[in-house]
Amino acid sequence: MEIQTSSGRFAEADVWALAVAVFKDEKADEGFLKDLDAAAGGLVRAVLESEELKGKEGETAYLHLSPSGGGIKAKRLLLVGVGERADYRAAQVSQFAGAAVRALRSRSVKTVGLVPRLEGADAALVASASVEGAVMGLFEPDKYRTIEKEERAVERLVVVVEGADGGALRRGAERGRIVGESANFTRDLANEPGAYMTPTIMAERAQGLANEFGLEIDVLDQPRIEQEGMGAFLSVARGSDQPPKMMVLKYMPDGKTGIEDGEDYLALVGKGITFDTGGISIKPSENMELMKYDMTGGATVLGVMRAVAQLKPPIPVLGVVPATENMPSGKATKPGDVVRAMTGKTIEVINTDAEGRLILADAVAYAKKLGATRVIDMATLTGAVSIALGDVNTGILGTDQELIDEVIESGREVGEKFWQLPLDKEYTKQIKSDIADIKNVGGRKAGTITAAAFIKEFADGISWAHLDIAGTAWGDEAKPFRAKGPTGVAVRTLLNFIERASRRAAVNGGSGGEK
């Protein structure tokens, strides 16, 4: 899709259809809508007064403009409800754009103009949110369909912000393209069937993005994983015929070759279980096909690193993705087995379906070994988080309140919600083992929290936050602005987090750490 921007009049946009944001209960008797209505020959007023569209989020009204031309160059007009004006921010602009392009693509419109109407906002921010939302809105999970496949495409997109600085619009649009495409990269990985997304294939995809965008990459194979003593990770991989891989991607700003002692170093660690049967503690067959998405945490790390390599922030970023299948076999780890993690800590494996925390334990420890001072891990870790928070909020826990607050605020700005759960020391008592240092489950109570408490055992001495995306990484229903299936949650939040840290680094003279 070709992406353009315009700071000229909306009426002059050279597109087939113009999509305009409309606020809840807005009338066409003043301001922008009055001008739009006049240019559209009274159609806008007629739609609003008849209450065909009330401006609620996701509502649309598709209007055919006068064939004689009238006051608008476009041939069609799409009014898109965006809710209350007071609640309208960049996150809602992104949803407006996604809803607009999806609605217009369904009508075979090939050239689209977006009028987001976020008045008084930074032009680059508006353009970025618009393009990011549009790019993500066009993603479909129908990759392997041969019939009833969405073949229609929006070929050209124009973001119209009247009177804005043209350079700022172009910079914002380019950022939005990078972010949107990287989120879709994550969604594409998460959507792949397990047979097409083995640990080896995932490592090849990581190698490909590293080669394309200039990232350093190191892929640890099984002998190297064994050499590092990652017994927790290997215990999960034992039952599979597919060899495990650990992907390590490094981004360094221009001119920087390494990490100095004491320097702030952010690591993103993502769970990469490319298919999760539960192992010997096998899952019920119903909905097991969705367990192809159990590598979404790792896919999120890869998507973020893909964008970081192009956005080039002034701070270094490390990405670590342990990948394996969790399969039952004669070689598989059995409930009751004791394994030794990279740190030397011993773990009693009570339930082999609590495997994500095992691979994250060694991955977090390895990130720490590589010099990370701040670690954010993400994983489709527990079903319990879906019971607690549904598909609205991502659970967040950790040891550094400033880090947690920064992630939550970064998410709020891009429209992704996080809810902090407690991690009091009492929860750690639930994972004490009678025969080893710790066990990998803590019983039925507080399952999301005890899973985080387990990972915390391997995050000592660093600032650490954990994102449980099990409830938010997959959407069972389509939204006006997004297809059903993988959501790409946390990609935009983490990129915003990195950019916020970069701005602080510029102010503080180098360190991107919390102040």
Q: Which residues are known to be catalytic? A: 283, 357
Q: Which two tokens stand for residue 391?
A: 């598909």
Side-chain-side CA neighbours of residue 298 (13 Å): 34
How many angstroms separate the CA atoms of 265 and 208, rounded?
Answer: 24
Element (H, E) at 374: strand 374-379
How many angstroms separate the CA atoms of 363 and 370, rounded?
Answer: 11
Q: Which two tokens stand for residue 397?
A: 């826990």
Backbone angles phi, psi at 17, to 5 degrees: -130, 140
How many angstroms separate the CA atoms of 213 and 204, rounded?
Answer: 14
How many angstroms separate the CA atoms of 114 and 16, rounded?
Answer: 11
| Cβ atoms 242, 292 nearer than 8 A | no
Helix (H, G, I), strand (E, B) or coil at 388: helix
Element (H, E) at 38: helix 31-39
How many angstroms separate the CA atoms of 301 and 319, rounded?
Answer: 6
Side-chain-side CA neighbours of residue 80 (13 Å): 30
Nearest residue to 420 (alpha-carbon basis) of 431, 406, 441? 406
How many angstroms separate the CA atoms of 66 and 303, rounded?
Answer: 44
How many angstroms separate the CA atoms of 104 and 445, rounded?
Answer: 47
- Cβ count near 503 (within 10 Å): 12
How many angstroms separate the CA atoms of 56 and 22, rounded?
Answer: 8
Helix (H, G, I), strand (E, B) or coil at 146: coil
Element (H, E) at 418: strand 417-420
